[in-house]
Amino acid sequence: MSGTMTLDELADNFSLFDDWEDRYRYIIDLGKKMTPLPDSAKVQANKVEGCISQVWLTSQIEGTGAQAVLTFQADSDAHIVRGLLAILLILFSGKTAQQIAAIDADHELAKLDLDQHISPNRRNGVASVVRVIQGTARRLLAA
C-alpha cells in the first residue's frame, strides 16, 4: 500500500476533487485497496486503544536501531477508518525508525486538510495510531 504513493502525491490527488464527498469516497477506496489483516492478527495485543472503531496494527521490523525499517499493516471494522489507516501507512510504512520518529504527523496530515473534515473522535483515533507507530520507532531508537 505504501510502496509507491507519497503523502504529497496523495495531496495532489485530493486537489483533483471538488468537494469532500468525493474525497471521502477516495479515502474509502484507499482503505479497500489495503490487504486485510488475517483474523489471527486481530487480537488484543494488536488493538489500538483510543479509537472508537476497532483498529488493529501490526509491525514488521527489518534491521536494528535507527536504520531499522518498519513496515506496518492495519485494519479496521469501519470503511472510512480503513481509509485513514491507508493514509497513515502511506506516511509511515517502509521508513526507518529514525525517519518515523522525526515525522511531524500533524504537519504532514494538514496537507490533506483532514483535521477540518473528520470528526474529533476520528482525529483522536488517528492520533492514537500515530502514537503507537512512533512509539514503536522510538523504542527501536532507544534500544
**What pLDDT does residue 114 have?**
85
In a domain, 28, yes or no: yes
Q: What is the pLDDT of residues 37-91, one digit of tens each?
A: 999 999 999 999 988 899 999 999 999 888 899 999 999 999 999 999 999 999 9
Query: pTM score, two decimals?
Result: 0.92
Quick one: pLDDT at residue 26? 95
The residue range of the domain holding 53 is 7-142
Angle at 63 between CA 58 and CA 65, to 5 degrees: 95
Q: How many domains are there within the chain?
A: 1
Which CATH number do you get for residue 64?
3.90.1010.10
Whether 43 is in a domain gets the answer yes
Q: In the predicted model, is pLDDT for residue 2 greater than 50?
A: no
Which are the catalytic amino acids? Answer: 51
